[in-house]
Amino acid sequence: MTDSQPLEHRQGSEPGRHNLDPHIDRYAARTAGMTASEIRALFAVASRPEVVSLAGGMPNLAALPLESLSGQMAELIAEEGLVALQYGSAHGVPALREQICEVMAMEGISGHPDDIVVTVGSQMGLDMVTRLFCDPGDVVLAEGPSYVGALGSFAAYEAQVVHVEMDDDGLVPDTLRAAIDATRREGKRIKFLYTIPNFHNPAGVTLAVERRAEILEICASNDILVVEDNPYGLLGFDGQTYPALRSMDPDNVVYLGSFSKTFASGLRVGWVLAPHAVREKLVLAAESATLCPPTLNQLVVSRYLSTHDWKGQIKTFRENYRERRDAMLSSLEQHLPAGCTWTQPDGGFYVWVTVPEGVDTKAMLPRAVTARVAYASGTGFYADGFGSRQMRLSYCYPTPERIREGVRRLAGVLESEMELVRTFGSVTTRAVSGPQFPGPDTA
């Protein structure tokens, strides 16, 4: 794949480099699987100002009331500095855990503050849950495609991901049943189903309400835990919410939440709500990982929730993102060549695009960047090399005008690519050997 070389500044992935690493024989088995993802490799290039990046998942913080936050931060240090700057417990600040219960109540969850563990973003929650449950070789069921950061945590614990198909209504129950049966026939142990029911990353779809009980029933009757990741649930464009899986089966669901998309991602404040016995283990795991989450950040969020109109702020975010979603969907409709299809998100950050047969989104990416538009190619969202005809487009960060310009450029690239395919046949890419280690979803 010579033509993607310019993007492949993969740290440590060049054979020459590996041979130069005197520590190469010392690493753990899990470390062998750690190679930088396509998204990570893209980071530097896609962040150049002339490139319209539809690749990353950065929230649009320009909508935040910085002046008032600035004053609050000053008050926090002046009034509670000795607490904010001191160690806390691995469990998290009690007042914040109570407030988190109020946030979760908006999606029908009645949790107890004691069953919440505050984490360094919900990425850490994912990592801790995997640490608790997965031995090497254990299977995690996950939607196909799935969140790139989750695949990274699963790979770090040498868990094997089995993807389950989705349609426009999310995870397909029959496909889940089939995946469970097939995996068990191979003699493998399934530890949990990892699912993003609302405004899926990267697929942009939502699990239909009428499927939720069925999915939970399939898991419960097969003795499989459910890990529900819900960073976007309050970002439904009509203000709509859906009943959380956790609200329907508290004993068999571990719930991951985050303030990254409803307040500020750079604070890295997320949480896990878990059945009581699991929560106890989670606190111990979190202690060994970071001792405690930053106290300052927890108090910043707590003060924000108690003094700001945080629900109003979420409404502002939602309206912001709806406008951008509209810009993206209308320009996809207007510009994308025939043969392309895409999902219709009702909330969240992402549209999932499927391109005509013969076009390879990973091979096309360097040409797209040359045409000053970036996206996340589909293979990064699968642990099994699938996804070469897919791409994720984010509308969260660029302005509507930039989104339209980006889609126009992408359409041009796609048309040349399809022309090439018609002339020379399929443009394939090198097969991905094993799961890549995904990078930050922050480009």
Residues 50-109 close enough to bind a copy of itself by CB under 8 A: 57-59, 61-62, 64, 66-67, 69-71, 73-78, 81-90
Instruction: Answer yes or no whether residue 294 interacts with a copy of itself by CB under 8 A.
Output: yes
CB of 97 to a copy of itself, least distance (A): 15
Judged by CB, which is closer to a copy of itself: 91, or 200?
91
Half-sphere exposure of 201 (CA within 13 A, CB side): 27
Instruction: Answer yes or no whether residue 280 interacts with a copy of itself by CB under 8 A.
Output: yes
Instruction: Answer yes or no whether residue 394 interacts with a copy of itself by CB under 8 A.
Output: no
Using alpha carbons, select from 98, 89, 59 the residue that is nearest to residue 301: 98
Q: How many residues bind a copy of itself (CB under 8 A)?
A: 99
Judged by CB, which is closer to a copy of itself: 17, or 48?
17
Interface residues for a copy of itself in 1-20 (CB under 8 A)?
11-12, 17, 20
Interface residues for a copy of itself in 230-259 (CB under 8 A)?
251
CB of 315 to a copy of itself, least distance (A): 19
CB of 261 to a copy of itself, least distance (A): 11
Q: Using CA atoms, how far apart are residues 351 and 238, in angstroms rounded to an integer? A: 17
- For residue 205, is it left (φ>0), alpha (ψ between -120 and 50) or beta? beta
DSSP per residue over 217-273, as a string? HHHHHTT-EEEEE-SSTT-BTTS-----HHHH-TTTEEEEEESIIIIIGGG-EEEEE
Cα dihedral sign, 311-315-316-321: positive
Q: Record the tokens describing residue 349, joined without a space.
A: 């950050």
Options 161, 207, 253, 278; binder of a copy of itself; rule CB under 8 A: 278
Q: Which x/- pattern, by CB under 8 A, does the window 115-144 give for a copy of itself? A: -----xx-xx--x---xxxxx--x------
Specify the stretch interacting with a copy of itself by CB under 8 A; choose among 168-176, 270-278, 337-345, 377-385.
270-278
Judged by CB, which is closer to a copy of itself: 248, or 283?
283
Q: Which x/- pattern, by CB under 8 A, does the window 347-386 give for a copy of itself? A: ----------------------------------------
Q: Using CA atoms, how far apart are residues 110 and 113, in angstroms rounded to an integer? A: 10
What value does the CA radius of gyration of the chain take, rounded to a whole number of Å?
A: 22
Judged by CB, which is closer to a copy of itself: 170, or 250?
250
Residue 406 phi/psi, 5° resolution?
A: -60, -45
CB of 289 to a copy of itself, least distance (A): 5
The string over 192-213, giving b where at least 16 C-beta atoms fall within 10 Å of a residue's C-beta and e elsewhere, is bbbbbbbbbbbbbbbbbeebbe
Instruction: Answer yes or no whether residue 155 interacts with a copy of itself by CB under 8 A.
Output: yes
Q: Using CA atoms, how far apart are residues 246 and 266, in angstroms rounded to an integer? A: 26
